[in-house]
Structure 1
């Protein structure tokens, strides 16, 4: 007959096992916004700019790209962090920390910026479609059709559809990209800064290119606000708030994954295009075809269709993601702004709301106008998108920092001294680089 002590030990072991299972389920349930972060990030910044950086500079810009990803970490992490300690998004945090005027100014600045990003993602997706099948329609027209289709799916499906579709296709592209990168490694010149780069390291041309590449690396800091809104939506769906540890695990998976894939596209561009002296095409369809050739050159002809479809679906998922995230952000800003000062924030379902629909239609129409007026040169257009994102990044980084350390967060729950120092370093560096870019382009 078992002793009382052994029975007690068995009970404790069972309790510990049940506790571990409960913790594992809690962390798995929290996964979602981090994957959406990766899905939104793995778009033009990776497929276009990272590949182009590798094609023109070999591995010369790889260290700078990884350093930028590391530097920006706190600015992005403050999004899910704020939700975990307050239950509110960063938009509401801006309102309670800085007031309604800052929320209004933030939304007004973001409207044209987000429309430009939507246009950039749509034209890249259209380019991938044109590289897979012969299309009689022009790339901007295909991009408009894609925006319309994704807009309908976003409005009808909401967070649950977005979460499921994004996870499937991000995993597929990640696996194929890792295999293609491994195959390209032997072809890479691993010099710190190859002599065959298109311009010297210490030159205005390289500095301007670097700013353009880093603008959306791993993404625009606006994604931190979108991430906080997705975390809030996930919490409403599950009926409970995820704690800081669960949010951090989810965020780190998406963030590290985006960083790894950024490095992969640089390495593929360096190994397959730079080593052979292939110049990146200026057109959307031409460049998309070159991206597909990165895979066929390393994995074989069989991979062309498979990877092409995978890359297209991931870009399509990115378009879906931003067509959910940006209208969600603008509509949240609107509801936060119009709320009277003496009223507290209420739990509002943004999906399907009138403000969300108006934001979705308005941003889509503005993106269509941009596609037909500013798309004369794909390369210049992409550089413009990245530079705009980079120039506003120090402002967004500062807003996120002060919100995460503001009066709405109890002192005991605020970020650690380490991550705050890290955040200050990011703000200072991004500010200096932005001022340097303005001086180089418009003063000197």
Structure 2
């Protein structure tokens, strides 16, 4: 598909009204929420509540707060430059960093796709009896979502995601409200599976926070979605509109993470229910959280909603990850000194190759590394956490790099906030390496 010159995309222009401008910008933030409300919420947040009551809730909310600048720099960079973070990495650090970023992300993103797919398959198995194994169902779902993603592009993804995220959000908030009286609000209950100051709790905390509210790679995907929306509209959204769109998705993801913790604490922890290790068994427990709080009527409705949201999460990452890898390929292979072009990523040969390659790699992972669902999920979260300080630093220096005019760079407050996040994530990552491999 021929490239489109970047000059065809105009700078921010006034919309018909203030409301119209902000409504037009909505989209990437919802996709952010759709991608985030996946395994980190349905699996890890619920399990945290089931095993620790609300003992880890404060840490989860602090993680969401702490990581905010690292994620916000994605749509922010698009609003001031018109380019994604992938192009920002090249112009700030050079081609080698873009190539290294893509090489590291290929196995990581395939693992995340496999994790989301097996969770979605588990939810499907909790709704209707399945004769096929969970990995096989997961592979079928990856194939179907891959076809839809390639055929529908950004517009289909945006519409489907908004509908089902809203449905699950409403039912989850209602279920959490009903579960509130069942929760033991002790700061760190004695019934937690391990003491607060223990290696076991620290390791679990790292695993839970790895994708809370999501992997920082999602900032790059968000910037690419913002770029795609701008191309579809023929104009670039300004920073204020981007921030509103992002905040809606980000705050929503944080609120729903807290809701899943509360449901796990109120329904499972209070009754001493141990989270199941299998994907189907755990998914059935998640559905029971709704039926025990909202009533039997909610079982089918919420089960279908949870499944469809996980399905849209799978759709989202099967668009976002190949989009990110193919954008990295085009950026990396552009000769030094060549004029930058703004390519249409979706439907391109690189996107198709990335989509097929990541899907096949995810299928291999599902059939070879899925012996224990719980251990696999912990591995996914820990890998994401160990990479988070590096990605946070890349985003920080790109947002404050030479490609961003000094007058438009992030404020001193958000930069200090970002430095705090980088330092904290680095210390926690080093601490995890120490207790797991040295201590």
**What is the TM-score with the length of structure 1 in the denominator?**
0.96
8 Å CA contact 2:203–2:432 kept in 1: the answer is yes
Q: CA shift at 1:23, angstroms?
A: 1.0
Cα offset, 1:443, TM superposition: 0.5
Q: 1-side partners of 2:376 and 2:6: how far apart?
A: 71
Cα distance in 2 between the residues matched to 1:8 and 1:241? 11
**1:356-377 Cα deviation digits (max 9, x unpaired):** 0000000000000000000000
Per-residue deviation, 1:345: 1.7
Cα distance change, pair 332–376 in 1 and its aligned pair in 2 (3 A): same
Offset at residue 344 of structure 1 (A): 2.6
Deviation of residue 343 (structure 1)?
A: 1.1
Structure 2 CA distance for aligned equivalents of residues 16 and 394 of structure 1: 32
- Which secondary structure does the structure 1 equivalent of 2:11 belong to? helix
1:16 is displaced (CA, Å) by: 23
Q: Distance in 1 between matches of 2:110 and 2:176?
A: 32
Residues 160-185 of structure 1, C-alpha deviations (whole Å, 9 max, x = no match): 00000000000000000011001000
Cα distance in 2 between the residues matched to 1:348 and 1:226: 15
User: Aligned pair in 2 of structure 1 residues 153, 18: CA closer, same or farther (>3 Å)?
Assistant: closer
CA, structure 1 residues 399+6, in 2 after alignment: closer, same or farther (shift >3 Å)?
closer
After TM superposition, the runs of 4+ consecutive aligned structure 1 residues lying more than 3 A away are 1-9, 15-21
Distance 2:101 2:16 in 1: 42
Q: In the superposition, relative to structure 1, how do residues 297 and 356 fare at CA in structure 2: closer, same or farther (>3 Å)? A: same
Shift of 1:347: 1.1
Contact 2:15 2:21 in 1 (8 A): no
Q: Write the distance in 2 (CA, Å) between the matches of 1:61 and 1:277.
A: 17
Q: Following TM superposition, by how much is the alpha carbon of 1:18 offset from its aligned partner in structure 2, in angstroms?
A: 15
The answer as to whether partners of 2:12 and 2:236 remain within 8 angstroms in 1 is no
Q: Please say if residues 290 and 298 of structure 2, whose CA atoms lie closer than 8 Å, have aligned partners that are also in contact.
A: yes
Flag the 1:414–1:4 CA change in 2: closer, same or farther, 3 A.
Answer: closer
Change in Cα spacing, 1:16 to 1:220, as seen in structure 2 (3 Å) is closer
Q: 1:342 to 1:206 in 2, by over 3 A?
A: same
Once the two structures are TM-superposed, the CA of residue 21 in structure 1 deviates from its matched residue by 6.2
- Cα 1:76–1:19 change in 2 (3 A) is closer
> Would the alpha carbon gap of residues 127 and 18 (structure 1) be closer, same or farther in structure 2, given more than 3 Å must change?
closer
Equivalent-residue separation in structure 1 for 2:151 and 2:215 (angstroms): 26
- Cα RMSD of the aligned pairs, angstroms, is 7.1
Distance in 2 between the 1:174 and 1:165 partners? 14
Q: Sort the Cα spacing of 1:20 and 1:336 in 2 relative to 1 into closer, same or farther, 3 A.
A: closer
Name the SS for the 1:341 alignment partner: coil
Tell me how far apart the structure 2 counterparts of residues 362 and 64 of structure 1 sit (CA, whole Å).
36
SS of the aligned residue for 1:26 comes to helix
**Whose radius of gyration is greater, 1 or 2?**
1
* In 2, Cα distance between equivalents of 1:19 and 1:35: 23
SS at match of 1:288: helix
> How far is the alpha carbon of 1:127 from its aligned partner?
0.0
1:292 and 1:94, CA in 2 relative to 1: closer, same or farther beyond 3 A? same
Aligned length: 439
C-alpha separation in 1, matches of 2:321 and 2:79 = 21
Counterpart in the other structure of 1:252: 247
